[in-house]
Amino acid sequence: MLRRTLLAAASSERLRQAVTTAPQTRAIVDRYVAGESTADAVRVAGELRAAGLLVSLDYLGEDTADAAQAAEVARAYARLLGELSAAGLTAGGGCEVSVKATAVGLLLPEHGEKTATENIARICAAARDAGTTVTLDAEDHTAVEATLRIAASLRPDFSDLGCVVQARLRRSEADCEQLASSGARVRLCKGAYDEPAEVAFTRRQDVDLSYARCLRRLMAGTGYPMVATHDPRLIDIATTVALMSGRPADRFEYQMLYGIRPAEQQRLTGTGAQVRVYVPYGRDWYGYLVRRLAERPGNVAFFLRSLVPDQRPRRVP
């Protein structure tokens, strides 16, 4: 219930205003977001690479409503990739980027899918120049089919273009089956969106069971599985399934979000596993932050306090 209420808050413009202007939210934003500028993103990526972690950078923003803004997001990614490359961080895919189709035009009223496809192709070309890859994030279920279609249409030119599958969705096991046999890079996550029961599992244990089934499909296939979870049980299952599938440590990776379970990220790296940290940056952090809070009820009190104006008397300097 709380999760549902919080996820509804992600689309409230009034709450967005209240939260993004409240100084109290800064500390929690800083925990999950690298900063607002490209320089912040490059700095944090460098720190993580120095600690032996791989990185995927996400320029925050979703539901872009006009073509000029969509093109600007694609240019921002190209600039980021250029700067990461200049800093020596992209070699061998050490730092890649994650892109949301709606941020580059998918929801435009006219030619949305075509615009998103062209912008993603530009980002893929910039990534190739930099020696690295792109992964397409998964958004709510209404965008999934189009996002997978875009990925499939670009793979003949950019074979390492990755995509995300959400275990929460009922369709995902079949998607994994298909993607695993096509050799694709696939990030498997639980799914962060509030979805209706017709298309999604709503009970936590059913989502976890679906995750384990999807994992088996991906590990048995010819592609490159990316195990995106902080859940200790699923991490253990992934380790076991990889072992039983005869998949060596360099043929899959674990992925976690910036600011979540950093000690576990280091522990896994210490075992010889590949671990990639998903690092968001940019000014448009509200939707991302609300999804992270919805996963962690302990953070909610902090969030709610930030919405209430400070009642203490203020001294005028």
Verify binding: residue 260, ligand FDA, rule CB under 6 A: yes
> Which lies closer to ligand FDA via its Cβ, residue 108 or residue 294?
294
Region binding ligand FDA by CB under 6 A among candidate stretches 10-18, 64-72, 108-116, 254-262: 254-262
> Which lies closer to ligand FDA via its Cβ, residue 171 or residue 296?
296
In a 10 Å sphere around its CB, with 0-12 CB exposed, 13-18 middle and 19+ buried, how is residue 9 labelled?
buried
Residue 308: how many other CB atoms lie within 10 Å: 10
| Contact pattern from residue 118 through residue 137 relative to ligand FDA, giving x for each residue in contact according to CB under 6 A and a dash for the rest | -------------------x
| Contact pattern from residue 137 through residue 176 relative to ligand FDA, giving x for each residue in contact according to CB under 6 A and a dash for the rest | xx-------------------------x-x----------
Query: According to CB under 6 A, which one of 59, 193, 285, 288 is a site residue for ligand FDA?
Result: 193
First and final CA of the chain: distance in angstroms?
43
Instruction: Supply the residues annotated as catalytic.
Output: 137, 187
> Which lies closer to ligand FDA via its Cβ, residue 27 or residue 86?
27
Return all residues near 52 (Cβ < 8 A) that are at least 6 apart. 266, 269
Determine the distance from the C-alpha atom of residue 306 to the mean position of all C-alpha atoms in its chain, rounded to a whole number: 25
Rounded distance between C-alpha atoms, residue 174 and residue 281, angstroms: 33
Residue 255 CB, nearest approach to ligand FDA (Å): 4
Q: Which of 240, 238, 285, 231 is nearest to 260 (CA)?
A: 231
Q: Which of residues 218-247 bind ligand FDA (CB under 6 A)?
A: 228-231
Query: According to CB under 6 A, which one of 189, 214, 235, 237 is a site residue for ligand FDA?
Result: 189
Q: Any idea which residue has 């979805």 for tokens?
A: 195
Size of the site for ligand FDA (CB under 6 A): 23
Verify binding: residue 278, ligand FDA, rule CB under 6 A: yes
Closest-CB residue for ligand FDA? 230
Residue type, 190: K
DSSP strand pairing (253-257 vs 162-166): unpaired
How far, in Å, are 86, 103, 275, 293 from residue 29 at the CA level? Answer: 28, 20, 23, 10
Region binding ligand FDA by CB under 6 A among candidate stretches 19-27, 110-118, 145-153, 290-298: 290-298
In a 10 Å sphere around its CB, with 0-12 CB exposed, 13-18 middle and 19+ buried, how is residue 238 labelled?
buried
Helices (H), the chain: 2-9, 13-21, 26-32, 38-50, 67-86, 112-130, 141-154, 172-181, 204-220, 232-244, 262-270, 286-294, 300-307
As a whole number of Å, the CA-based R_g of the chain is 19
Verify binding: residue 306, ligand FDA, rule CB under 6 A: no
Residue 290: how many other CB atoms lie within 10 Å: 21
Region binding ligand FDA by CB under 6 A among candidate stretches 40-48, 63-71, 151-159, 251-259: 251-259
Verify binding: residue 190, ligand FDA, rule CB under 6 A: yes
Verify binding: residue 256, ligand FDA, rule CB under 6 A: yes
Verify binding: residue 29, ligand FDA, rule CB under 6 A: no
The binding site for ligand FDA (CB under 6 A) comprises: 137-138, 164, 166, 187, 189-193, 228-231, 255-257, 260-261, 278, 292, 295-296
